[in-house]
Chains A and B, each alone.
Chain A
Amino acid sequence: MTNTESFENVVLELRRGVIVLAVLSQLSDEQYGYSLQKLLSDQGLEVDQGTLYPLLRRLEAQGLLESVWKLEEARPRRYYVISAEGKKLLPKLKKEWAGIVSVMDKMLA
């Protein structure tokens, strides 16, 4: 394995957990998959479709998101929004994240 490959794998691992938190945090207002991807991208977090769409389905299956099909511009779109259970979980996740950042900041300083 080359250095570049190792680097990419580590970055992938680092981002994997973060994406769940990012997605939950951005779905207080409903979004369809592509608009959510653009929203994340606009804020600097690039997530490819192969990761995002299966993740949305998984989070919905876990009860953290809800989805509904809507017909817009003659095109059906599936809109996702954070569920009541997701709303309960989000502050805990944020707190956990803040703890991780604080520890890592100290460690890496």
Chain B
Amino acid sequence: MKLINRYVTEVGKRLPLVKGRKDIENELRSTLEDMLEDHAQKSDKPADEAMEVDLLKEYGSPQKVAETYNQTPYLIGPRMFPFFMMILKIVFAAVALGLTIATAIQIMTQSPMTAIELLSAIGKGILNIFSACIAAFGNIALVFALIERFAPASEFKLDEEKEWDPASLKKEPEPTEVKAWEPIFAIVFTFIAISIFNFNPQWLSINYGDNNMWFIGFGDFAAGQKGSIPLLSEAFFRWLPWINIGWVAEIILNGMLLRTGRWQASTRLFSIAIKVLQIVIGYFLLIGPSIVKVTAESLKAIEGFDAKAAQILATMAQQGVRGLIALIMFLIAIDIIKTVVKLIRQKSSVGA
């Protein structure tokens, strides 16, 4: 019986710390002894260690046996999990927003900063958000795990258990319907983009003045600044007329959508054509000379920039913009596929 006793102890170690643990151990021992006796009778010989080994093998590993008694196998059970995820999303969003604002305020109030100080402040801000989210996750998971462990699930009446009213289902949106604010929003922002890129390109620049203060955007040479480095190169402005064609076409498309209030086959085809044009322009911007005028040399001219910082920032700007163009092209390509699918569906539903 030595093996049985050791086996029962091993199972006991793995049982949850609940009332009745000793009871489970005693019952298990009693059952195993009954079974061993039964095996001995059947084989017509006294129980020995080999028989015990066979029996325990048949009964299963101590871990497996202990698991069958585990009434709370979940850290956070399926009943609480949707609520847990909802809280997690809200807290993550609040933490990220709060710390982003705090970092921005810190950067603004600590100006003037050198490039390295700025990069380090941004890096610290990102790290803070990351570690705060991990801490928040740990705390929320702990609270939910405690609730799961100590409060019976039946005491929680979550939303799905309240009396449900089918009237709460919102009207299914018409797949071709266009909400008025969407084209208005698109038109306004396209106009802003056209006016900045065509008529105020000096706004897209790194500006620096006295006290080593520097900032991106809205440069004004007349305001007594020491200097300004345009962000975009000649390569970009060579393609600007084509980009303008795309933007004007976008304004026309959104005007049509605003007037009709819904997507039609013609507007979808027009939208695909504009997106194809944008991808072609993106391709030429990507393979051609860099559209970013910021170089290590131009940055070094700014007081407070050391050579290393200038090199890092210039490389980040050059490669970052190329990456951004590639990402935008990819998103536009996905949008084209979506529009084609919608066009096919629209045509087949009209035909049906």
Q: A residues engaging B (CB < 8 A)? A: 32-35, 49-51, 53-54, 57-58, 69, 75-78
Contact = CB atoms under 8 A, between A and B. Distances in A.
Given A49-B59, A50-B60, A78-B27, A34 B34 contact: yes
A78 B24 CA distance: 10
Interface in B35-83: 35, 38, 59-60, 64-65, 68-69, 71
B33 interface: yes
A48 to B, nearest CB: 9
Contacts of A53: 24, 27-28, 31, 68-69
Given A34-B35, A78-B23, A50 B68 contact: yes
Contacts of A75: 30, 33-34
B20 interface: yes
Contact of A50 (B24, B26, B65): B65
A33 B31 CA distance: 7
A4 B322 CA distance: 53
Contacts of B59: 49
B18 to A, nearest CB: 10
A75 B28 CA distance: 12
Q: On chain B, which size bracket covers the interface?
A: 10 to 19
A15 to B, nearest CB: 15
A77 to B, nearest CB: 5
Which 3 residue pairs across A and B have the least CB separation, nearest first? A50-B68, A34-B34, A54-B68
Contacts of B65: 49-50
Contacts of A35: 34
A75 B33 CA distance: 9
A76 B31 CA distance: 10
A34 B35 CA distance: 8
Contacts of B60: 50
A47 B30 CA distance: 18
A49 B64 contact: no
Majority secondary structure of chain A interface residues (helix, strand, loop or mixed): helix
A58 B70 CA distance: 11
Contacts of B33: 75
A76 B30 contact: yes
Contacts of B20: 57
B64 A50 contact: yes
Nearest to A74: B33
Contact of A49 (B26, B31, B71): B31
Nearest to B60: A50
Contacts of B27: 33, 53, 78
14 contacts: A34-B31, A34-B35, A34-B38, A35-B34, A50-B60, A53-B28, A53-B68, A57-B20, A75-B30, A76-B26, A76-B30, A78-B23, A78-B26, A78-B27
Nearest to A51: B68
Contacts of A51: 68
A57 B15 CA distance: 14
Contacts of B23: 78
Nearest to B28: A53
A80 B30 CA distance: 14
B26 to A, nearest CB: 6
Interface in B72-99: none
- Residue among B27, B38, B71 having the largest count of chain A Cβ atoms under 10 Å: B27
Contacts of A54: 68-69, 71
A32 B24 CA distance: 13
A19 to B, nearest CB: 13
B144 to A, nearest CB: 24
A12 to B, nearest CB: 14
Interface in B116-134: none
A71 to B, nearest CB: 10
